A and B are shown apart, each in its own frame.
Chain A
């Protein structure tokens, strides 16, 4: 049985969609269940995704067919089974909060800070959610598609 179908069988209410993109396994899950699913994917002997390779986000602001704005993407890798899995969760702008997975993978700490810094998505339960790349004085989140690309916020010197 395929990996994605196994996950769907385990969480029939939380998995919205499963798909194959260029031979990668992708599951789209409800954002309420993200920590639960991640924890199971890590510890369940059937999955064993010990490693969080990457955690990032996409802003779909100008995609009219999408009813959500952000997508947070978890790139998982299983060292013991040599498998990869992409877990995606959809985040609306009005409620841009996702449960933190730092308690599952400590590697998520800085990655979630980066997503917060660049996209302004909050991670509930993160131990130290503050900017990691930009300076504290920076206003806004630069990788949001509505951040004006000519806008400059220097600490010293003229604004433009």
Chain B
């Protein structure tokens, strides 16, 4: 957050942009788009051991129309590409995309006819979390980076 002043009365002053960013970064409704083995790490991140709810992102929505962040978790094949694009198009603004695992970042070792070589060829990506699959700590690190990005950006209202 930017500059915050505590006055002698119990209130804070800040900018509208910062306040909206603060609210948005701690109320991430995520849409998990899980296609492969990275899903296991996603599950362990979201369950009680690593508890993604500590970061305000503990509420997966299974409709893209109700979610803010699209978690693309696992290998995306060319056959799946149009589905992913359609899911992204259905989400309301503001929206962010996290590429979870190296397959979504670059295609990983699936350098072949069937696999999309990085989902950023189809949809814009905000945070890349590499790893095959990434450790939950790595996922949480990516999530914190996304929160920083949400806080700092210009908030469209």
**A156 in complex: contacting residue of B81, B112, B113, CB < 8 Å:** B81
Given contacts A154-B121, A156-B122, A157-B121, contact A149 B82 (CB under 8 A): no
User: CB distance A149 to B112 under 8 Å?
Assistant: yes
User: CB distance A154 to B116 under 8 Å?
Assistant: yes
Whole-angstrom distance between the alpha carbons of A142 and B112 in the complex?
9
B5 interface contact, C-beta 8 A: no
Q: Which residues of B contact A147 (CB under 8 A)?
A: 113
Whole-angstrom distance between the alpha carbons of A151 and B81 in the complex?
17
Q: Which residues of A contact B78 (CB under 8 A)?
A: 135, 152-155
User: CB distance B121 to A158 under 8 Å?
Assistant: yes
A79 interface contact, C-beta 8 A: no
**A152 in complex: contacting residue of B79, B85, B113, B122, CB < 8 Å:** B113
User: CB distance B121 to A142 under 8 Å?
Assistant: no
Q: Which chain A residue lies CB-closest to B112? A: A149
Chain B residues with a Cβ under 8 A of chain A: 78-79, 81-82, 85, 112-114, 116-117, 121-122
Whole-angstrom distance between the alpha carbons of A133 and B77 in the complex?
11
Whole-angstrom distance between the alpha carbons of A160 and B112 in the complex?
11
Interface secondary structure of B, over-half rule: loop
Q: Which residues of B contact A152 (CB under 8 A)?
A: 78, 113, 117
User: CB distance A135 to B79 under 8 Å?
Assistant: yes
Closest 4 CB pairs of A and B: A157-B121, A142-B113, A157-B122, A156-B81
- Number of A interface residues at 8 Å Cβ cutoff, please give it: 15
User: CB distance A155 to B82 under 8 Å?
Assistant: yes
Whole-angstrom distance between the alpha carbons of A114 and B73 in the complex?
27
Q: Which chain A residue lies CB-closest to B113? A: A142
Chain A residues with a Cβ under 8 A of chain B: 133-135, 142, 147, 149, 151-158, 160
Q: Which chain B residue lies CB-closest to A158? A: B121
User: CB distance B121 to A151 under 8 Å?
Assistant: no
Whole-angstrom distance between the alpha carbons of A156 and B82 in the complex?
6
List 29 A-B pairs, Cβ < 8 Å: A133-B114, A134-B79, A134-B114, A135-B78, A135-B79, A142-B112, A142-B113, A142-B114, A147-B113, A149-B113, A151-B113, A152-B78, A152-B113, A152-B117, A153-B78, A153-B113, A154-B81, A154-B121, A155-B78, A155-B79, A156-B81, A156-B82, A156-B85, A156-B122, A157-B81, A157-B121, A157-B122, A158-B121, A160-B117
Whole-angstrom distance between the alpha carbons of A147 and B113 in the complex?
9
Q: Which residues of B contact A157 (CB under 8 A)?
A: 81, 116, 121-122
Interface centre among B78, B114, B117, B122 (most CB of A within 10 A): B78
Q: How far is the CB of B120 from chain A (nearest CB, A)?
A: 9
Q: Which residues of B contact A153 (CB under 8 A)?
A: 78, 113
User: CB distance A155 to B113 under 8 Å?
Assistant: no
Q: Which residues of A contact B113 (CB under 8 A)?
A: 142, 147, 149, 151-153
Whole-angstrom distance between the alpha carbons of A152 and B112 in the complex?
8
